[in-house]
Amino acid sequence: MTDTLLDRPVDTADAARTDFAAPYALTIGGQRVETNTTFDVFNPATNAVLAQAPDGTAEHMEAAIAAAKQAFPAWSALSWDERGDYIARYADALEAHREELITLLTLEQGKPRHSMATGEVDASIKWVRETATRRLPDEVVEDNADHIVLIERTPLGVVGAITPWNFPVLLGLWKIAPALISGNTMVMKPSPYTPLCTLRFGEIAQGIFPAGVLNIVSGGNALGQQLAEHPDIAKVSFTGSTATGRKVMASGAGTIKRVTLELGGNDAAIVLEGADWKPLVPTLFWAAFGNSGQWCIASKRLYVHRSIHADFVKAFVEYGRTKTVGDGMDAGTDLGPIQNRMQYDKLRDLFADTKANGYATPLGGTIDETLAGNFVPVTVVDNPPEDSRIVREEPFGPIVPIIAFDTIDEVVAKANDTQFGLAGSVWGPDRDAAIAVARRLETGTVWVNEIHIHGLEIPFGGHKQSGLGVENGAEGLAEFTNSKTLMFRK
Ligand code: NAD
């Protein structure tokens, strides 16, 4: 198998793709690898087959890991500046494919082309470009008359990256750029629901990076398990559900693998008494329903002080009525479809539960199952009980409960009463009082009077069962390295 891989020519200047159904290839050892079998990738707005993706086998995964292992010594021996030059060139190459990636993202994922897909691709390319400038210099922790102690950050080896289907471009590039700048090589496995943009990352990278530095293998879930178990994978950087995160941790235990797990969430947004709530209606609408609610850090429970609750619900519903759910390629679409049938069926079940329990749904509430695409209406559930499924579970769709509360102790207890601890937000007239509430939330991130701000220097990760470790910031970058203590006598 390895011989045939090496027979194939390297693409040096990948042309922007206009035919999205044309064959896609794995990237292994810097080369295109076509597979004997493929699987269907669907357009969620129509449920028509969009393209065939290569169905990588265990042998392909072995070859990819071997290629990454072979590439590691030379890549890790480069200076940070040299690796940064490669990554900056990769950002340029991605930029040259910007229009293509935006369209492909909408076609495979569903999010509106003119808003979320454009935003995701642009933010991701910027991220890669900025990551090219990041460094982790040695840190001197002791310097006395006798000796010096310093901490060096050394690369781990081959990083296995596993991504989900909600933000395949952003979450993929959040892993590729920091792993590579810090001297690791990588094998990435995208979600089988959204493999196409990631396959293009590999094809675009072929003309940029030395062979084997970045390998992409699409296929079934078993490939993820293979990565997580493999002795030549030093670390798994995983974004996905809490249930799969547990499996990744268990699979990695045999080889004491480093893992970073970015998992599910059930974020609370808390609107305190006296808040200037009218401007919060659109803000919290998009915080809940951006990407049609398929967002780990979507506001999934809105707790609104009882003095405001009724007015807030009314205005939120009115605002929601003006928004259009449709095909993400249409300029008039505000919210796209649910990305896949599995998630659509989960939502059907949750909607049925909401209906069966008689919870009030002043907006939406019924899925029109005669539509060809996976369209789910924007739905508000008014004041359901705390033990309802819509409050306890992560819906991952455009349905949100808006719950009245009376006291701060009560709302903090409710917000924290969950296995999740990803993020949350607090909104109030007195910034210090709102910060005091934020400090009591058991989550990795809390925003106060703002939401969904991310940045290269800002660590992001979950508490409790929302994850392990962080991405971004110096701390996130350091997770792609080992800490090595070096001491020498003066
Ligand atoms: P998922 O867990 O079903 O799949 C994620 C990835 O894991 C896919 O690539 C899948 O093929 C792979 N996989 C499946 N079984 C595996 C196994 N046994 N070993 C290794 N890999 C395996 O998640 P999803 O449905 O694609 O994504 C939605 C979930 O992701 C939601 O819970 C959401 O909250 C979470 N998410 C979290 C973040 C974050 O940063 N915290 C970001 C986005 C999404």
Residues at CB less than 6 angstroms from ligand 1: 162-167, 171, 189, 191-192, 221, 224-225, 228, 239-241, 244, 247-248, 251, 262-265, 296, 394, 396, 422, 462, 467
pLDDT value of position 8:
34
Residue pair 87/128 in contact (Cβ under 8 Å)? The answer is: yes
Token pair 């992001």: residue: 460
Q: Which two tokens stand for residue 338?
A: 């649910």
Q: Is 296 a catalytic site residue?
A: yes
- Average pLDDT in the chain: 96
- Going from the Cα of 244 to the center of ligand 1, the distance in angstroms, rounded, reads 6
Within 8 A by CB and 6+ apart from 345, the residues are none
Q: Is the pLDDT of residue 260 over 90?
A: yes
Tell which atom from ligand 1 comes closest to the C-alpha of 244.
Answer: 2
- Going from the Cα of 319 to the center of ligand 1, the distance in angstroms, rounded, reads 32
Strand 360-363 and strand 481-489: pairing? unpaired
The residue contributing the CA closest to ligand 1 atom 40 is: 262
Tell which atom from ligand 1 comes closest to the C-alpha of 164.
Answer: 26
pLDDT value of position 1:
30
Q: Is the pLDDT of residue 148 over 50?
A: yes
Tell which atom from ligand 1 comes closest to the C-alpha of 162.
Answer: 9
Residue pair 272/433 in contact (Cβ under 8 Å)? The answer is: yes
How much is the average pLDDT of 60-66? Answer: 98
Could you read off the pLDDT of 446-470 as tens digits, one per residue?
999 999 999 999 999 999 999 999 9
pLDDT value of position 6:
32
How crowded is the C-beta side of 437, counted as CA atoms within 13 Å? 29
Residue pair 396/294 in contact (Cβ under 8 Å)? The answer is: yes
Q: Is the pLDDT of residue 2 over 60?
A: no
Active-site residue, from 100, 120, 229, 262:
262
- Going from the Cα of 61 to the center of ligand 1, the distance in angstroms, rounded, reads 19
Tell which atom from ligand 1 comes closest to the C-alpha of 422.
Answer: 41
- Binning pLDDT at 50, 70 and 90, where does residue 15 land? confident
For the chain, give every domain's residue range. Answer: 3-263+466-488, 267-455
- Going from the Cα of 482 to the center of ligand 1, the distance in angstroms, rounded, reads 25
Within 8 A by CB and 6+ apart from 357, the residues are 384, 388
Residue 164, SS3 per DSSP: coil
Could you read off the pLDDT of 382-433 as tens digits, one per residue?
999 999 999 999 999 999 999 999 999 999 999 999 999 999 999 999 999 9
pLDDT value of position 16:
85
Q: Which two tokens stand for residue 271?
A: 């609107």
pTM for the model stands at: 0.96
The residue contributing the CA closest to ligand 1 atom 23 is: 240
pLDDT value of position 13:
54
- Residue 252 identity: G
Residue 374: which of 110, 197, 52 has the closest Cα? 110
- Going from the Cα of 242 to the center of ligand 1, the distance in angstroms, rounded, reads 8
Could you read off the pLDDT of 191-211 as tens digits, one per residue?
999 999 999 999 999 989 999
Hey, which of 241, 340, 420 would you mutate to test ligand 1's pocket, going by the most ligand atoms within 8 Å of its Cβ?
Answer: 241
With pLDDT > 70 as the criterion, what percentage of the chain qualifies? 97
* Superfamily of domain covering 3-263+466-488: Aldehyde Dehydrogenase; Chain A, domain 1 (3.40.605.10)
Angstrom distance (rounded) from CA 289 to CA 91: 30
Tell which atom from ligand 1 comes closest to the C-alpha of 460.
Answer: 40
- Going from the Cα of 238 to the center of ligand 1, the distance in angstroms, rounded, reads 7
How much is the average pLDDT of 111-118? Answer: 98
Q: Which CATH architecture is the domain 267-455 placed in?
A: 3-Layer(aba) Sandwich (3.40)
Higher model confidence: residue 273 or residue 15? 273
HEC letters along 324-390: CECCCCCCCCCECCCCCHHHHHHHHHHHHHHHHCCCEEEECCCCCCCCCCCCCCCEEEECCCCCCHH
Q: Is the pLDDT of residue 23 over 50?
A: yes
Active-site residue, from 229, 296, 394, 471:
296
One fold for 3-263+466-488 and 267-455:
no
pLDDT value of position 458:
97
The residue contributing the CA closest to ligand 1 atom 22 is: 224
